[in-house]
Amino acid sequence: MLRATSLPTVIALLAAGCADADADDGGELAGSTTSIVDLAAFVPLDPADDPFAARRGPDATCDPAGFGIEDLAGEPAFEIASGLCGYLSAGQPLPFALPAGALLKIRLWHFDLSASGPADAFLALAIDGAPLWSKTVAIPAPGALVLEELTLGEAAAAGAPLVFHVDNHGENTYALLEISATW
């Protein structure tokens, strides 16, 4: 799924967005930055468990071949190819508790976005059923690094479901690179 024609641009943007990952058991990480996801652990959610289910159209489909781990310029990424998977909410449990006030960092890449007509892509994140972040990207659009930071308003318990969501029109590719926290 990786498109080599954009690789020099991707490498430069990924290097600019790399995070310091001082991870341990999640106990006392005050002042450090650590990943809060295992990119390989994301699993698609049933509609009953999907906090974004209201966005699911009646013909929404997701072939399992349309998502998975890919190498993006030497960095692992959870990649969604919307030609095969136009709607995906994938989740996993938080590996440890997050305190209120933690700074979350989301880093993802999308290649050039196209569709048969003007459209939108919707990207989002939720923890324990509560939507925390979303971004709508107008299609068509050039490839870009999406780098967002947000402050966690409420504490989140270890094991709470973390959900990453993409829905899109057209045959496009999204690569989640990082969801990390600093506190």
List of residues 6+ apart from 178 with CB closer than 8 A: 17, 19, 35, 37, 105, 106, 107, 108
* Per-residue pLDDT at 153 exceeds 70: yes
pTM value is 0.84
Rounded Cα distance between 15 and 133, Å, is 23
Q: 148 pLDDT exceeds 90?
A: yes
> How many other C-beta atoms can be found within 10 angstroms of the C-beta atom of residue 22?
11
Residue boundaries of the structural domains of the chain: 4-182
**CATH code linked to domain 4-182:** 2.60.120
Q: Which of 81, 108, 106, 105 minimizes the C-alpha distance to 14? A: 108
Q: State the pLDDT at residue 170.
A: 85
pLDDT mean over 26-30: 55
Average pLDDT for the chain: 87
Residue 137 near residue 166, CB atoms below 8 Å: no
**157-176 pLDDT per residue, tens:** 999 999 999 999 889 999 99
Q: Is the pLDDT of residue 11 over 90?
A: no
Other beta carbons within 10 Å of 5: 10
Q: What is the mean pLDDT of residues 60-65?
A: 94
pLDDT of 27 above 70: no
Write out pLDDT tens, residues 12-26: 444 444 444 333 344
Work out the average pLDDT over 82-93: 97
Region 98-122: what's the mean pLDDT?
95
